[in-house]
Structure 1
Amino acid sequence: MTSSSSDSSEPISSAVLTRYAGALIDLAEKGKSISKVQQDLRDLEAMIQGSPELGHLISSPLVSQKKQEIIINDIAAKAKLQKLTKNFLGVLVQNRRLNILVGVIRVYHKMVSVRSGEVSVRVQIAQKMTATQEKNFHKKISSAIGSDVLVETVIAPEILGGMIITIGSYMVDDSVRRKLERLGSALKKGSNQNTVNLKEVV
């Protein structure tokens, strides 16, 4: 394989992520290992989220290709990754595209979701949920929708609390920020009318 350079500071287009994730899922499908590869990717994502240092080594353009190869080989051995997953990571390293790994993982999950008929749900929360909270949320949202779901969690401190749930074009904003905005609007209106029904706000 030939190595091609890529400036990691360039914006990552969805087309690039889709191309790499699509190639991986097609190969996984041929090898009947879609689920196994997906589990590998979940493990990798957890490692990256749990280690800022690893995240830096993967995303920084200042880290040499050779060092990234050593890191990936070490991770593959310790995590006992599928051969396909390891080879795919090797391609990213050689193409100097390891910085898009997290994005590719997320697109892969969405592709698996589409192929299996799952519903994709995006939830924004102010702080990370515990494992128990994630499990309960997944169970409740699956029950409410009547279908298995793929949940993408986004940490958004600016919403202050609560959550914003997006399913396709449908969005439910139950964030503290939104409630405060509604409260502020109601208070402004109430200052003119000398009354405000707080129950309608919160």
Structure 2
Amino acid sequence: MASDAPQIAANDTPMIGAPQTGGAADRYAIAMLGLTDDLRATDPGATDRIAADMERLAALYRDDAGFRAFVQDPRNGLDVQRNAAFAVLERIEISKEVHNLVGVLIANRRLALLPNVAEAFGAALAARRGQQLAQVTTAAALSDVQKASLVARLTEAGFSGVRLVEKVDATILGGLIVRIGSRLYDNSIKSKLQRLQYAMKGAA
């Protein structure tokens, strides 16, 4: 890892607007958010740049079964984790700050927390910006027009500052599942078929 990479620690002082659930993932996310604040003095775009990288890592974890299995495998030693993880980060050109975060997780035997840290970072940043995260699951990636339409519909439903966090899951067959705050909207074809199946069993 580059020696000039800014260092972060999991016990940094919590930031205003960050989630305070007390979990390890939240502490790493809060520390990362604090780092972006420090960097903004010389790099005004640091927060957006690092947030984009965190989202890319979260997407890689969601979409790549091999990477997901690697991250969650406790049998891998530190050297194996470093070599493999850093190779992936360099291939997808992740910033040195997020590269350093992954190094800290590995050193602390916490690599399995990576997706949780990425999610907690996104939630903390959204809370600070007055945004609401909408976790959207679809069978295929949404187009820009579909994303804009969904945000508009959620706004009409009373949710303000909506930011979509997308996940593709072919097993839902079609439609979409939206979780925002404590609300869950399940309009997937899979769920419709399940409800139909239950109804048919009840009528038998």
Gaps of 5+ in 1: 2-12, 192-202
Q: How far off is 1:139 after superposition?
A: 0.6
TM-score, structure 1 as length reference: 0.70
Q: Assess if the C-alpha contact under 8 Å between 1:124 and 1:165 holds in 2.
A: yes
Judging by fraction of residues, say which structure has more helix.
1
Residue matched to 2:4: none
Aligned residue pair count = 175
Matched, 1:29 2:37: yes
Instruction: Pick the aligned partner of 1:104 from 114, 117, 123.
Output: 117
Residue matched to 1:19: 27
Does 91-100 or 149-158 show the bigger shift? 149-158
Which entry has the higher C-alpha Rg, 1 or 2?
Answer: 1
Q: Assess if the C-alpha contact under 8 Å between 1:92 and 1:98 holds in 2.
A: yes
The alignment's C-alpha RMSD in Å is 3.1
TM-score, structure 2 as length reference: 0.69
Residue matched to 1:86: 99
Residue matched to 2:163: 150
Identity %: 21
Residue matched to 2:195: 181
After TM superposition, the structure 1 = structure 2 runs for residues 131-146 of structure 1, keeping only pairs within 5 Å, are 133-144=142-153, 145=155
Distance 2:83 2:57 in 1: 15
Instruction: Pick the aligned partner of 2:176 from 163, 177, 197.
Output: 163
Instruction: Pick the aligned partner of 1:58 from 53, 71, 78.
Output: 71
Gaps of 5+ in 2: 1-6, 8-20, 41-45
Structure 2 CA distance for partners of 1:106 and 1:137, relative to 1, 3 Å? farther
Structure 2 CA distance for partners of 1:74 and 1:169, relative to 1, 3 Å? closer
Q: Assess if the C-alpha contact under 8 Å between 2:58 and 2:115 holds in 1.
A: yes
Distance 2:202 2:75 in 1: 52
Corresponding residue SS for 2:50? helix
